[in-house]
Amino acid sequence: MLALLGPSGSGKTTLLRIIAGLDFPDRGRIIFGGDDATRVPVQQRAVGFVFQHYALFKHMTVAQNIAYGLNARRRSERPEKAEIKRRVGNLLDLIKLSGFADRYPSQLSGGQRQRIALARALAVEPRVLLLDEPFGALDAQVRKDLRRWLREIHDRTGQTTIFVTHDQDEALELSDRVAVLDRGRLEQVGTPDEVQERPVSPTVLKFLGDTIEVEAIAQNGQVLVQGRPTPLTAPQGLSGPVKLYARPWQLQFAEADTAHLHGTVRSSYRTQGRQRIEVDREGAKTVVVEASDTARLAQGREVGLRIVGGWVFP
Amino acid sequence: MSEAPRPKRRFRQRTVIPGFGLTLGYTLTCLGVIVLLPLATLVAKAAGLGPAGIWAVATDPRVASALRVSFGVSLLAALTASIFGGIVAWVLTRYDFPGRKLADAVVDLPFALPTAVAGIALASLYAPNGAVGSQLAKIGIEAAYTPVGIFIAMVFIGLPFAVRTVQPLIAEIDKEVEEASAILGASRIATLTRVVLPPLIPAVLTGFALAFARGVGEYGSIIFIAGNLPYVSEIAPLLIVIKLSEFDYEGASAIAVIMLAISFVTLLAINLIQAWSRRRFGYV
């Protein structure tokens, strides 16, 4: 299960549509399991595609929607009626909508429609299942449930799946590998752990979460911020001015004489057992610090911040 | 809420959209004065003949033949207009080409043209010495002064209805639905017949009904091209005018009432088919 992750306009959907055969690449090839599929027309590519807005056939019942791909086959390859019915029944069980076979899509909720779109795509036993922002149009709770459910189905069927998302949590939770795209370029491919622990560029880093950017100096393998050493080591061959990036939880409050950054507390709020504090810095960008939810800091209080982790890029 | 006194009948639901009573009253008054009153007068006038008298008019060979021509040719013309109108609407909506806006405007011309103007234009075009008529004559088709002429005129005036009713639905066709069908392995033709066209059927039927009704009621453009030969190319509305000019008011209203009845039944049937297809194709 691969996630295509990137900001809007980064080319995720275009890439997915090229894989499906709905759009055509200017260069390069599409290879499915060793076979070149670049010139295979969309009808014969044997992919399953789930659209963000479902694209169900409104004038057909749920069962007819799911059976559509099987009924569309040439007579010699089409399963018998009873077999089609059995497979539709199995898929309805899989998506937990067994009693809904004779409903029309307009009678269903968004989450149910999305599940039917998925069953319709799975019915033809595709080589690759492609999902275009599959949960984008759903509300937060339904989205969470569907996510977990999709992962279950994936674990059970082992179906090769590629999905597009701009939600990093979704990508990190659901996928085995994440491909981060930016402005039509593939920035990094790796497991969720790899892209989080070893991002290859500031773009990947910034896209995966809140980031603090600090001017620093690399010197003799050390990274200095405001003349004070940090626990980070500079990459080989890097010296002079560099950029240091850190996550909100890689900053700690510290006494003024050991701190790398100084500022005043602008506001703080609690979320899910943690405290997030916005700190204004003179002549620099406001930073967000995440700390355990204990002592509350008064607004306007002067604080010092120490960097305990992060990444260095030229 | 359960303690509150309940209205006896829930004819009117509480709603934030105001004006139900006012608009319903207005609608009924308008329908009554503008539509039902003249029709009732017509029926009253014809009733002077008595059922036997009306039956005698209906079975008069000349009247029967005129009715056959009027309704038969209207149905054929409405069918033709629906098919060609559907294609025109498809091309105008789905493709972008230079002059599309102009072509789109031309569709409305039969609406706007005085029917007599259309009749004269068609007659001079399809007459045996006209530009098209002379060519058709070479292959043995007489267009003007035959039912073929009536057919041509009715298609001409019915076309805008067929185009305008399906156009909005064609514009609404979701490109993704077609792509979904293709991805599922359906050929282009299967996608068209099974995914794209079925939802258009109710609108096509509406266009068909309107074109048919217009064809039945059309007078001006037809009489110029039809030739008006009794038993061959004489339409019922013309017969009414002839009766009127002979001061046979009751005979005229009898034909009118018969036309009214046939039209009503036909339109009702089309409406029922339409309601069925709406349900069938999931417009709940």
Cβ-proximal residues to B59 (8 Å cutoff; 6+ apart), any chain: none
Asked whether the beta carbons of residue A43 and residue B176 sit closer than 8 angstroms, the reply is: no
Condensed to tens digits (0 to 9), the pLDDT of residues B90-120 reads: 999 999 999 999 999 999 988 888 888 988 9
Of all residues in chain A, the one with the smallest CA distance to B280 is A59
Using CA atoms, how far residue B200 sits from B109, B164, B188, in Å, is 24, 12, 17
Question: In this structure, are B85 and B217 located in the same domain?
Answer: yes
The domain in which residue B35 lies consists of 17-47
Q: Which residues of A touch B202 (CB under 8 A)?
A: none
Which of B175, B183, B191, B195 has the most A C-beta neighbours within 10 Å, making it the best mutation to test the interface with A? B183
In 3-state terms, what secondary structure has residue A312?
strand
Output the average pLDDT for chain A: 87
Asked whether the beta carbons of residue B187 and residue A48 sit closer than 8 angstroms, the reply is: no
Does a structural domain hold residue B10? no
Question: In this structure, are B30 and B79 located in the same domain?
Answer: no
In this predicted structure, the answer to whether residue B208 has a pLDDT above a threshold of 90 is yes
Task: Compute the distance between CA of residue A106 and CA of residue A288 in angstroms, rounded to an integer.
Answer: 45
Question: Which secondary-structure segment (H or E) carries B202?
Answer: helix B201-217
Question: In this structure, are B162 and B192 located in the same domain?
Answer: yes
Tokens of A209: 């979460």
Residue B198, chain A, CB below 8 Å: the answer is yes
Contact at 8 Å (CB) between A234 and A222?
A: yes
Q: At B230, give phi and psi (nearest 5°).
A: -55, 145
Question: In this structure, are B28 and B134 located in the same domain?
Answer: no
Q: What is the mean pLDDT of each run of 10 residues along chain A (314 residues)?
A: 88 90 88 85 90 90 93 86 92 89 89 91 91 84 85 87 89 90 90 91 88 86 83 81 88 82 84 81 78 71 86 86
Question: In this structure, are B177 and B209 located in the same domain?
Answer: yes
Neighbours of A239 (CB within 10 A): 14
Contact at 8 Å (CB) between A288 and A248?
A: yes
Does a structural domain hold residue B64? yes
Number of separate domains in chain B: 2
Question: In this structure, are B125 and B261 located in the same domain?
Answer: yes
Question: In this structure, are B236 and B147 located in the same domain?
Answer: yes
To the nearest whole angstrom, how far is the Cα of A69 from the nearest Cα of chain B?
5
Task: Compute the distance between CA of residue A91 and CA of residue A105 in angstroms, rounded to an integer.
Answer: 16
Res B284: pLDDT:
45
Question: In this structure, are B42 and B61 located in the same domain?
Answer: no
* Domain boundaries defined on chain A: 2-198, 210-313
Res B282: pLDDT:
55
Question: In this structure, are B191 and B272 located in the same domain?
Answer: yes
Task: Compute the distance between CA of residue A98 and CA of residue A91 in angstroms, rounded to an integer.
Answer: 8
Task: Compute the distance between CA of residue A249 and CA of residue B125 in angstroms, rounded to an integer.
Answer: 85
CATH code of the region A210-313: 2.40.50.100
Q: Which of A42, A73, A120 sits opposite B182 (nearest CB)?
A: A42
The identity of residue A32, as a single letter, is F
Task: Compute the distance between CA of residue A304 and CA of residue A265 in angstroms, rounded to an integer.
Answer: 10
Does a structural domain hold residue B5? no
To the nearest whole angstrom, how far is the Cα of B172 from the nearest Cα of chain A?
13
Does a structural domain hold residue B7? no
Question: In this structure, are B38 and B130 located in the same domain?
Answer: no
Res A220: pLDDT:
81
ipTM of the complex: 0.80
Q: Which of B176, B194, B198 sits opposite A53 (nearest CB)?
A: B176
Does a structural domain hold residue B161? yes
Strand partners of residue A254: A304
Question: In this structure, are B60 and B94 located in the same domain?
Answer: yes
- Angle, CA A134 vertex, CA A16 and CA A122 arms, to 5°: 80
Asked whether the beta carbons of residue B282 and residue A105 sit closer than 8 angstroms, the reply is: yes
CATH 2.40.37.10 fits A2-198, yes or no: no
Does a structural domain hold residue B6? no
Q: At A85, give phi and psi (nearest 5°).
A: -60, -40
Confidence of residue B2 (pLDDT cuts 50, 70, 90): very low
To the nearest whole angstrom, how far is the Cα of A42 from the nearest Cα of chain B?
6
Confidence of residue B12 (pLDDT cuts 50, 70, 90): low
Question: In this structure, are B22 and B113 located in the same domain?
Answer: no
Output the average pLDDT for chain B: 87
In this predicted structure, the answer to whether residue B283 has a pLDDT above a threshold of 80 is no
CATH number for the domain spanning B106: value is: 1.10.3720.10
Angle in degrees, 0-180, between the axes of helices B147-172 and B100-107, rounded to the nearest 10: 130
Tokens of A204: 């990947």
